[in-house]
Amino acid sequence: MSLPARTVDVLVVGAGQAGLGTARRLVDAGVPDVLVLEAAEVGASWTGRWAGLRLFTPRRFSTLPGLPFPPGPGESPTRLEMAAYLRRYADVLDVPVVTGTPVTGLTRAGTGFRAATPAGEVTARQVVVATGPHRRPRVPAAAADLAPDVVALHSSAYREPADLPDGPVLVVGGGNSAAQLALELAATRPVTVAAPGVPRALPTHVLGISLYRWLLVTGVLNAGSGTPVGRLVRRRDEAVFGRDLPRAVRAGRVRLVPHRVVGAAGRAVTLADGSVLPVHAVLWCTGFLPDTGWLEIPGALGPGGEPVHRRGASPVPGLHWMGLPWQTRVNSGLVDGVDRDARRTAGRIRRALDGAVGRRDLGGPPPHRLGRQTRWPDPATSTPPSSPCPSPRWPTRP
Ligand SMILES: Cc1cc2nc3c(=O)[nH]c(=O)nc-3n(C[C@H](O)[C@H](O)[C@H](O)COP(=O)(O)OP(=O)(O)OC[C@H]3O[C@@H](n4cnc5c(N)ncnc54)[C@H](O)[C@@H]3O)c2cc1C
């Protein structure tokens, strides 16, 4: 674990899709001196999720710019395929990505920042925080009132059915994780789902075309968070991709109680309608919170530790967020939505660096026209550019 540089123009914290996509767009914008620090390994969030997880986004919509998703069995990738894709992306990105190096503290240093890591300090003129919105399990307070012999796990700690004891399981939540895990568990035991309402299940395909594609072409996924469409989508509960859950409920393989869990006592939970459900094991699919405890900069976080930002720009000059749900659009928190926000963030950073020192002092070429270069050239038909700017290492064909 060694740091290639102690002072950089831009430090990107986190090597998930948001961090790597931003690093790519910084390269395109001609920012020469970028460093990505990653606490674990590239794509760690995906390897850390449950074994049977398949993305709900089809392969072609699970990509970052310039590197198509390799073909494979099934329309959507598995979590391991996604992690491998991100590792490949980091390999062909001409930016140092240092793994196993968590940023444990970020403070101001003059007009820039000082990041503390176990391998030493890095100073940076601009910082992009791309550490992911799904870091800390969000579990209802009632969970603490369950008896110690009730096995209760958050979805982030669940890997496979054997993690739960034989016998009935209560799955709490109405989103995609709850739906996928309820179906997985229903193959071997009785499952009840307690969701805040009847989950809104969408078909995966309409007229033979993936729903994700329909939502893209109709502009729903790219709708701005503040537009009428964006506000409407945000007001509604998370939609579940696929109709397998309602089918299983109709077939009696899964029991659905459309009420929130509001309390717990011993071996039972209380639902919002006042009914009481005995429980043997509970799987909380109740979402996540970001982990921002290491950010020690006044004004960067709200009272609950939530990022303060406008379209990803922090009120703290030089600090930027990436990968936040609803950052600018409906799909900002999805793989496919990274690039639009990354281009915006890279442009903002390039302008800030230009304004601070003058373009020539950066030593890089003039910025590319962002938005035009949305794809890396096909390595089979093009030659690497001769420009002195850091360029992608060209992916070889498998
Ligand atoms: C169960 C589940 C299924 C999902 N399925 C889909 C799907 O099918 N399609 C889709 O588009 N989206 C999906 N998402 C949403 C989203 O795409 C993923 O959560 C994705 O992992 C978010 O990417 P990210 O880069 O923002 O964060 P992450 O993937 O979480 O990456 C953040 C990285 O930052 C690192 N890090 C954290 N703290 C530090 C630190 N202090 N210093 C250095 N590094 C740090 C982490 O180790 C991690 O590698 C899903 C989310 C969940 C929870």
pLDDT at 41 over 60: yes
pLDDT value of position 19: 98
Residue of 17, 63, 155, 294 to test ligand 1 pocket, by largest number of atoms within 8 Å of CB:
17
| Kind plus residue range of the DSSP H or E element containing 89 | helix 79-92
- Bridge partners, residue 350, by sequence: none
Cα(55) to centroid(ligand 1), Å? 12
pLDDT at 155 over 70: yes
Angle at alpha carbon of residue 196, lines to 262 and 280, rounded to 5°: 60
Contact 354, 346 (CB under 8 A): no
- Non-local (6+) Cβ contacts of 293 within 8 A are 305
Q: Rounded mean pLDDT of 314-339? A: 96
Pick the closest to residue 286 from 238, 244, 243 (CA basis).
238
pLDDT value of position 116: 97
Is the beta carbon of 132 within 6 A of some atom in ligand 1?
Answer: yes
Which comes out higher in pLDDT, residue 369 or 81?
Answer: 81
Is the beta carbon of 49 within 6 A of some atom in ligand 1?
Answer: yes
pLDDT digits (tens, 9 = 90+) for 194-232: 999 998 899 999 999 999 999 999 999 999 999 999 999
Q: Tell me the whole-structure pTM to 2 decimals.
A: 0.87
Q: Which atom of ligand 1 is nearest to the CA of 54?
A: 8
If you take atom 37 of ligand 1, which residue's CA is the nearest one? 131
pLDDT at 388 over 50: no
pLDDT above 90 covers a percentage of the chain that reads 80
pLDDT value of position 357: 52
If you take atom 31 of ligand 1, which residue's CA is the nearest one? 16
Number of H helices, E strands in the chain: 8, 21
226-230, 274-278, 363-367, range with the lowest pLDDT: 363-367
Residue of 210, 334, 336 to test ligand 1 pocket, by largest number of atoms within 8 Å of CB:
334
Which comes out higher in pLDDT, residue 128 or 392?
Answer: 128
pLDDT value of position 4: 78
Q: Rounded mean pLDDT of 313-323? A: 98
Which comes out higher in pLDDT, residue 243 or 373?
Answer: 243
Q: Specify the 3-state DSSP secondary structure of 311.
A: coil
Q: Which atom of ligand 1 is nearest to the CA of 132?
A: 27
- Non-local (6+) Cβ contacts of 207 within 8 A are none
Contact 193, 177 (CB under 8 A): no
pLDDT digits (tens, 9 = 90+) for 165-188: 999 999 999 999 999 999 999 999
Q: Which atom of ligand 1 is nearest to the CA of 17?
A: 25
Q: Can you read off the two tokens belonging to residue 82?
A: 């996604």
Q: Rounded mean pLDDT of 240-258? A: 95
Q: How far apart are alpha carbons 136 and 291 in whole angstroms?
A: 6
Is the beta carbon of 323 within 6 A of some atom in ligand 1?
Answer: yes
How confident is residue 366, by pLDDT bands cut at 50, 70 and 90? very low
Q: How far apart are alpha carbons 192 and 171 in whole angstroms?
A: 6
pLDDT digits (tens, 9 = 90+) for 102-117: 999 999 999 999 999 9
pLDDT digits (tens, 9 = 90+) for 235-247: 887 789 899 999 9
Cα(48) to centroid(ligand 1), Å? 10
176: left (phi over 0), alpha (psi -120 to 50) or beta: alpha
Task: DSSP letter for 312, please.
Answer: T
Q: Can you read off the two tokens belonging to residue 200?
A: 């809104």
How confident is residue 234, by pLDDT bands cut at 50, 70 and 90? confident
Q: Which atom of ligand 1 is nearest to the CA of 21?
A: 25
Cα(9) to centroid(ligand 1), Å? 24
Cα(45) to centroid(ligand 1), Å? 5
Cα(15) to centroid(ligand 1), Å? 9
pLDDT digits (tens, 9 = 90+) for 63-79: 999 999 999 999 999 99
Cα(362) to centroid(ligand 1), Å? 31
pLDDT value of position 1: 58
pLDDT above 70 covers a percentage of the chain that reads 89
pLDDT at 23 over 80: yes
pLDDT at 390 over 70: no
pLDDT at 259 over 90: yes
Average pLDDT, the chain: 88
